[in-house]
Structure formats: structure tokens, C-alpha cells
Amino acid sequence: MNSKFKSGMLVVLHLLIFGLTTVFAADLAHVADKQEIAQPDQSGKVSLTRANWSWPAEFENQVIYIARSTGGDASSTILMKPLTPIVSPSDGIVLFSGSINEFEVGIVLAHSEGLFSVISSRYPWESSAANPLTGSAVIKGQTLAITKGGSLEIPVKWTLLRVQDDRLTRIRNLDQFTDSSQANQVGFASRAEVLKSIFSGKEIDTKRLMNVGPVQFMVDKKISPKDGTVINLNKTEIPLSHLINDELLLTAGLHDIEIISGRIFKTKQTSTFDAVLGGTSMVSIEATRDRDVVALNSGFVASTSESLKQEEKVMPSTSVGDGKIQDAQRERARLDQAAISDEKTRLAQLAAAKEQERRVQEARAREFAEETRARDELLRTARLRDEEVAKLRQQLAGLEEKKVSSDQTIVFANRRALVIGNDSYMQVSKLVNAREDARAIAESLTQLGYQVTLKLDLTEKGMKLALRNFKEQVGGGDEVMIFYAGHGVQIGAMNYLLPIDIAGESEEEIKDDGIQLQRVLDDMNERKAKFTLAMIDACRDNPFKSVGRNIGGRGLSPTTAATGQMVIFSAGAGQRALDKLGPTDKSKNGLFTRIFLKEMQKSGVSIDKVVRNVRNEVVGIARSVGHEQVPAIYDQVVGDFYFRR
């Protein structure tokens, strides 16, 4: 296959990837446009439609617990079980995900017409591949995060804000404010100023929007949770301990409640109470004086048999004539029949209301099912397109590797090189120069007679496989070159090279999923390579700071080289390597790599002198733009080795 044909194939594959990605983005934008959650009325104000909103999570049996002190707030603080999906309450765009202050993490969503949701918690979210990136469109019910694992319920707060700031209509991604020129274009100085403007908006009562009211249960001190007393609320059994510690959110209106007695109280009592909007309904559960039933509310009416017992205690016995006793008994029977008739009427009215509510819920369920089918179809199409794009990228990477190998000139059997460039990180900050640096180094090493293996954008699995295969190729007496460009981080005294799918929730996770540099050097020593040069261009800003995690620090720590090994870092401990010298710098390569490419082509200069020449020139150029960058060299080489004699 000639070089012109290969170049043509590369262009075609690039265009296909760009086209599919663009079409998918357009589809998401189309869905967001078609499913707006708020429409302005004739006065120009936004009206909120209850059907367009949902809770930021789904609940077991629709019983929603909230913190007892938050019932009167405009926001809703919901108690969620560990590892429960947190979902979008309506369609919108993810503006921000991370630490919103020193105590809370949160997700900020922009809805239409100046409405913003803030979903926050004092507990960090669990990482998930389903978490959408900032700037991406989401639809109602789509997973945003997952609550922290453990044994405790997690309080998650949903705040809905209306903000009258026209500048916010141009905000689609707060990450754009890492570039101050982009911030000035929309009229904000910083990300913090945008968040402050959003948080200063007017709060909308989310409980009123969802047509629910908080209900607080007051339990008599004579009733203990150890008695085993529970209530049956809307056909859901709730232990007494839940009622004592928490409140419930219930749909406004009448609710059936049945008190099921435990070890001490052996009867059941059923009544109703009204959940209202705009305040907290207080429901009292009490024990009667005789401790044989449990009463609901202070106005509880005793049963007929109990009424007869109470009346018999105060009636005269033998001193009253038999006729008068019979008259009293007939009057009591008449009153009992009237009470039964009234109760039947009340129950009939309650049954009619419940039937109407059931019909409304069935209609809502059918509507929700239709929306769910449409959403699932969109997600299925998106997954298919993602898979197609991934396949095209793999083909593109394969053609690029073949292009490098086809340009080889003289190949020396004992010269081997592994070159890796990682740019497209999925969950931490992306890079722009690493792949270009890797391609340039691979091409230069090929011209110098190395058998080169070039790998780009490797996941953890791919990176470990590439290192394992390369180790098996190295034999005793080989001259080995290892080049890595991408993110790296120091944990303790060890340095770790990071694959593109690193999540980095903790230092232990990085130790498991990252690639330990010292292990790579030890593998080359184990294979008895005569000479090993490791060039590590990973001295950049800590990638985990951008996602709010305090793991590692800037740069890499000093390393240990075995006999016959030389290691060079693009910058010293605590320093940052420059990718660009300034806005006018048009080079595709970072400062360290571009200097190394020039020096390694010089004939008759030993490698130890090449790396020192590189260090001196990098220091001088970096200082000319007011930056301190001193490449670190660790040299245990015996003898002279050359790139080009």
C-alpha cells in the first residue's frame, strides 16, 4: 500500500469520526429543544408545569423520607439509600459537577428560561461511567451520579432557582472559565462569580411544585420502638423508628393510616389525615389511658364497645328501674347506627377520591412509559454510534502505526523502542501535545534504526498489555528506548503513569490502576537490557486538582535507575513542563520534546551528552519566558551509547 493511499484513508476516517460525533451532538440538542421544561406565558414570565419535573431519585414504594428540620424549606432535603442513582429532575445542560463549597459537592444544571437546579450533598458521589461530562445535554430521569456507599442514608438537597441574569443564557460549561479570555466574552470574571450569580437567585418551592407536603409524626412517650408498633401508610409498612427520626413527603390530600400494634397493644386502628401544602402537617400517635389500643390524633373517637364501657362506669345500677335502663340502651343503639351511617358516607367519599387519583396515576404512568421508550431508543442509538466511532478510531490508530513502520530505513535487531502518547483522558483534564510528541519521537527513532512500537490513548488494560508485550520482545544485550507523554502523578516516593480511563477517586485506586514507573525500569533490568533510556514527559499540573480531589502533587519524585539505565524527566520535582512558549507559539510539540528531537539527530554525540545538551537548552528557553523548568537526569550508564554515530 503506497503512502498516498494511506494518507487518503487517514483523511476519510477523520471525516467519518467528525461527522458521526457532530450528528450525535445535534440529536441531543434537538431533544433538549423539543422537551423544554418551562414555557413563558403571555406576560413573558415562566410558568412551571408539574408534569415536566420529577424527584432527583426514584424511591421504594414512593415513600420519600426527608430530614426532620428541613420540612419548611423551599428546597427539598431527601434521605436516599447508599448507591442510589441521582437523576436529572428535568431536561437541561450540566454546567458544573464538583465541590461547590468547602463542605459540599454538587451538580449544577441549567434549564430553559433562567431556571437552575443545584443538587448537593455533604457526602461525595461514587464514580460511574454514566456520569455526564460538563457541557453535555441531559434529559429528565437521566443518571447524573450515584450516592456514596455504606450503611447510612445520604441527605441529598435539591434547590431550584430562578435567576434574572441575561449573561447566564450564554453559559453552557463552567470549565470554559479556565481560559480568562473566554470568561470575558460572556461578561463574568471567574467560575466563582457565575456560581454566586446562580445561588443568589430566587428559590422555587420544590415541594409545592411536586404537589407534596411534609408530614411530621409525634409519638407518645409511652410507646417505644421496642414494642414493635408500626404503621401501614398507603399500603406501605413503616417502622415507628422511622417516624420518630424523620419526616415524610406525601401527596397533598387525604391519606389512610392504619396503626398495627406490637407486643403491648394488640389491636388495629384505621383513620385518615390531610397532607397540606405550604407547611408541615402534625400527626399525633398516642396510647389510650387504659393502654389497650393506640389512638390517632387528639380527636380520636373510641369504638362503640369502648363507649359502652365508659358509660356503664357512671350509670346507677340497681337503683334505676328496668324501663329506664331499656330506654337508655335504645338511645345508645340509635346513636351507634347514626355513627355507622356517617362512617359509611365518609368511606364512600374517600373511595371515590382514591379511584379518581388512581385514574390520574394510570394516565401519568402511560405518559411516563412513552417518554421512557423514546429516551431508551435515543440512548441505544447513541451507544451504537459510540461503538462505531470507537472502531473507526482504532482503525485510524492502526493506520498511523503502519505509516510509521513503513517509513523505516535501516533497522538494527538489538534496538527496540516503546513510544506512548496519552491525550484523550476521560475523567481528568485532557492534553493536547502528548500524541504529537509521541508520533514525532517514533518517527525519529525509526529513522535511527529502532524497531518502534507506537501506542496512542491507551486505557489501563491496553497500557499494561503494551508494556507486557514489549517486555517479552526485549533480550539480553538490547539497547532500549522508552518514551511516555501524558499525565503522571507522585504518590509517596513512587511515580505513576496514568492511562486515559483513570478515575482517581483515591490514592489506593491510582496505585491499582496506574502504571508504576519503577516497575517498568525493573522489568528492563530483569530482561538484562544492555542500555535503557526512559524519557518521561509527564511533569504537568496535577490532573486530579481539576476534579476537586487532593491526590498527589505537581511533577514527579526522584527515581532510582539500575546499572545501565538512564532516566530523564521533562522537568524537576515540583516543576511544570511547558507545552507552549506563549500564544504565538505554533509548534505541535512541547518544549522538552522539540529540543530532544533536534539534539538526537546530531552525529558522533553520545547519549549522555545529548540529554545534558537538552537540559541546558530547555532551561535557557524556559527562563526567557519567565518560567523555571530544569529536566531531571538520573544516570547509571557505563560506557558510551549513541543515537547516530
Do 95 and 172 form a contact (C-beta atoms < 8 A)?
Answer: yes
Question: In a 3-state reduction of DSSP, which class is residue 108?
Answer: strand
Question: In a 3-state reduction of DSSP, which class is residue 421?
Answer: strand
Report the pLDDT value the prediction gives residue 522, as an integer from 0 to 100.
94
Q: In what order do the strands lie in the sheet with 565-569?
A: 451-456, 415-421, 479-485, 531-537, 565-569, 632-635
Q: What are the tens digits of pLDDT across the range 65-111?
A: 777 777 778 888 888 888 889 999 999 999 988 888 888 999 999 98
Nearest alpha-carbon partner for 514 in 489, 545, 541: 489
Q: Residue 568 gets which letter from DSSP? A: E
Q: What are the tens digits of pLDDT across the range 203-244?
A: 998 888 888 888 888 777 777 767 777 787 777 778 777 777
User: Within 10 Å of residue 113's Cβ, how many Cβ atoms?
Assistant: 16
User: Within 10 Å of residue 265's Cβ, how many Cβ atoms?
Assistant: 20
In three state form, how does the secondary structure of 185-248 look?
A: HHCCCCHHHHHHHHHCCEEECHHHHCCEEEEEEEECCCCCHHHCCEEEECCEEEEHHHHHHEEE
Distance CA 510, CA 515 (A): 9
Q: Which three cell numbers, joined as nine digits, stand for 465?
A: 498489555
Q: How far is CA 426 from the centre of its chain?
A: 12
Q: What are the tens digits of pLDDT across the range 312-361?
A: 333 333 333 445 445 555 655 666 566 667 667 777 777 787 787 788 88
Q: Does domain 50-206 have CATH number 2.70.70.10?
A: yes
Report the pLDDT value the prediction gives residue 563, as an integer from 0 to 100.
92
Sequence letter at residue 47: S
Distance CA 401, CA 442 (A): 9
Angle at 369 between CA 365 and CA 373, to 5 degrees: 170
CATH class of 211-300: mainly beta
Report the pLDDT value the prediction gives residue 530, as an integer from 0 to 100.
93
Report the pLDDT value the prediction gives residue 116, as an integer from 0 to 100.
93
In angstroms, the Cα distances linking 87 to 148, 203, 263, 302 are 14, 20, 41, 46
Report the pLDDT value the prediction gives residue 207, as an integer from 0 to 100.
86
Q: Residue 65 gets which letter from DSSP? A: E
What pTM did the predictor assign?
0.41
**Choices 3.40.50.1460, 3.40.630.10, 3.40.50.360, 3.40.1390.10: CATH for 416-635:** 3.40.50.1460
Q: Which three cell numbers, joined as nine digits, stand for 306?
A: 369502648
Q: Which three cell numbers, joined as nine digits, stand for 111?
A: 434549564
In angstroms, the Cα distances linking 14 to 195, 395, 405 are 37, 10, 20
Contacts of 262 (CB under 8 A, 6+ apart): 227, 228, 229, 230
Report the pLDDT value the prediction gives residue 80, as an integer from 0 to 100.
86
Report the pLDDT value the prediction gives residue 262, as an integer from 0 to 100.
64
List the beta bridge partners of residue 143.
Answer: 87
Distance CA 383, CA 558 (A): 43
Report the pLDDT value the prediction gives residue 153, as an integer from 0 to 100.
84
Domain boundaries defined on the chain: 50-206, 211-300, 416-635
Q: Which three cell numbers, joined as nine digits, stand for 218?
A: 409525634
Q: What are the tens digits of pLDDT across the range 566-588?
A: 999 998 888 888 888 888 888 89
Q: What are the tens digits of pLDDT across the range 17-42?
A: 344 333 333 333 333 333 333 333 34
User: Within 10 Å of residue 156's Cβ, how many Cβ atoms?
Assistant: 24
Bridging pattern class, strands 46-48 and 38-40 = antiparallel
- Torsion angle, CA of 493/498/501/505, rounded to 10 degrees? 20
Q: How crowded is the C-beta side of 237, counted as CA atoms within 13 Å?
A: 6
Q: Residue 60 gets which letter from DSSP? A: G
Q: For the chain, which ranges sit under pLDDT 50?
A: 2, 4-6, 9-46, 298-322, 324-325, 405-409, 548
In angstroms, the Cα distances linking 219 to 185, 224, 236, 260, 284 are 58, 9, 19, 14, 6
Contacts of 292 (CB under 8 A, 6+ apart): 265, 266, 267
**479-498 per-residue burial string, b: 16 or more CB within 10 A, e: under 16:** bbbbbbbbbbbbbeebbbbb
Phi then psi dihedrals of residue 633, to 5 deg: -120, 130
User: Within 10 Å of residue 98's Cβ, how many Cβ atoms?
Assistant: 18
Q: Which three cell numbers, joined as nine digits, stand for 497?
A: 503513569
